[in-house]
Chains A and B, each alone.
Chain A
Amino acid sequence: MSTALETVSWVITPYVAMAVFLVGHYWRYRYDKFGWTTLSTQIYESRLLRWGSPLFHFGILAVIVGHVVGLLIPKEWTAAVGITDDAYHLMAVGLGAVAGIAVVVGLILLIMRRRLVGPVFRATSRMDKLMYVGLGLVVVTGMANTIVGNVIGHYDYREGVSIWFRGLFFMNPRPDLMAAAPLTFQAHTLASLALFALWPFTRLVHVFSVPIAYLWRPYVLYRSRDTRMGERRGRRGWENVEDGSRLP
Chain B
Amino acid sequence: MKLMAQMAMVMNLDKCIGCHTCSVTCKQTWTNRAGMEYVWFNNVETRPGQGYPRTYEDQHRWKGGWTRKTNGRLALRSGGRLKNLATIFANPTMPGIDDYYEPWTYDYQTLTNAPLQEHTPVARPKSLISGRDMAIQWSANWDDNLAGGPELAEDDPVLRKVSDKVKLEFEQSFMFYLPRICEHCLNPSCAAACPAGAIYKRSEDGIVLVDQDRCRGWRKCVTACPYKKIYFNHRTGKAEKCTFCYPRIEVGQPTVCAETCVGRLRYLGLVFYDVDAVLPAASVENDHDLLEAQRALILDPSDPEVVRAAEKEGIPRDWIEAAQRSPIYSLINEYRLALPLHPEYRTMPMVWYIPPLSPVVDAVSETGQDAEDRDNLFAAIESLRIPIEYLAELFTAGDTGPVTDSLRRLAAMRSYMRDINLGRDTDEKIPRAVGMDGESVYEMYRLLALAKYEDRYVIPPAHTEQAHSLEAFATGCALDTEGGPGMGGPGAGGPDKGGPSTGGEVWLPMPGIRRSGEGT
Residues of A that sit less than 8 Å from B by CB: 33-46, 49-50, 53-54, 56-58, 118-119, 122-123, 206, 209, 211, 213-215, 217, 219-227, 229-230, 234, 240, 242-243, 245-246
Contacts and interface: CB of A to CB of B under 8 A. Distances in A.
Given A40-B237, A209-B216, A225 B85 contact: no
Interface stretch (B129-137, B283-291, B298-306, B405-413): B129-137
A230 B187 contact: no
A174 B192 CA distance: 50
A234 to B, nearest CB: 6
18 contacts: A34-B212, A34-B213, A37-B236, A38-B216, A42-B91, A43-B95, A49-B90, A58-B89, A211-B85, A214-B194, A214-B195, A220-B188, A225-B203, A225-B205, A226-B466, A230-B470, A242-B478, A243-B478
B85 A50 contact: no
A226 B89 contact: no
Nearest to A205: B216
Given A118-B132, A213-B197, A243-B473, A36 B192 contact: no
Contact of B200 (A38, A213, A223, A227): A223
A36 B216 contact: yes
B196 A209 contact: yes
B471 A229 contact: yes
A116 B55 CA distance: 29
A223 B209 CA distance: 10
A246 B200 CA distance: 28
Contact of B232 (A36, A43, A53, A123): A43
B94 A122 contact: no
Interface residues of B, number: 58
Please indicate which of the listed interface residues A44, A53, A213, A226 has the most CB atoms of chain B within 10 Å of its own CB. A226
B400 interface: no
B476 interface: yes
B382 to A, nearest CB: 41
B215 interface: yes
B81 interface: yes
Interface of B: 81-82, 84-85, 88-92, 94-97, 129-132, 187-188, 191-192, 194-197, 199-205, 212-219, 232, 234-238, 250, 462-463, 466-467, 470-471, 473-474, 476, 478, 481
Given A214-B85, A217-B197, A242-B478, A43 B237 contact: no
Given A44-B234, A221-B191, A225-B204, A215 B216 contact: no
A226 B97 CA distance: 37
Contacts of A227: 470
Please indicate which of the listed interface residues A42, A43, A209, A234 has the most CB atoms of chain B within 10 Å of its own CB. A43
B198 to A, nearest CB: 9
Contacts of B219: 40, 42
Given A37-B236, A226-B466, A206 B216 contact: yes
Contact of A214 (B84, B91, B92, B205): B84
Given A37-B238, A42-B90, A215-B81, 12 more contacts: A37-B215, A37-B216, A37-B236, A41-B234, A43-B96, A43-B232, A53-B89, A118-B131, A119-B97, A122-B130, A214-B195, A226-B467
A51 B122 CA distance: 41
A43 B478 contact: no
A230 B471 contact: yes
Given A214-B85, A222-B203, A246 B197 contact: no
A120 to B, nearest CB: 10
A243 B238 contact: no
B133 to A, nearest CB: 12
Nearest to A32: B213
B137 to A, nearest CB: 16
Contacts of A56: 89
B85 A224 contact: no
A36 to B, nearest CB: 7
B96 A211 contact: no
B216 A222 contact: no
A35 B217 CA distance: 10
Contacts of B250: 225
A56 B89 CA distance: 9
A248 to B, nearest CB: 13
A43 B200 contact: no
Given A37-B237, A211-B85, A211-B216, A54 B478 contact: no
A214 B197 contact: yes
Contacts of A45: 96
B202 A222 contact: yes
A57 B89 contact: yes
A223 B200 CA distance: 6
A223 B96 contact: no
B200 A230 contact: no
Contact of B192 (A43, A122, A220): A220
A10 B204 CA distance: 56
A242 B195 CA distance: 42
Nearest to B216: A209
A157 to B, nearest CB: 29
Nearest to A45: B96
A33 B214 CA distance: 7
Contacts of A123: 234-235
Nearest to B196: A211
B201 A38 contact: no
Contact of B97 (A36, A37, A39, A43): A43
Contacts of B96: 42-46
B1 to A, nearest CB: 16
A217 B187 CA distance: 15
Nearest to A222: B203
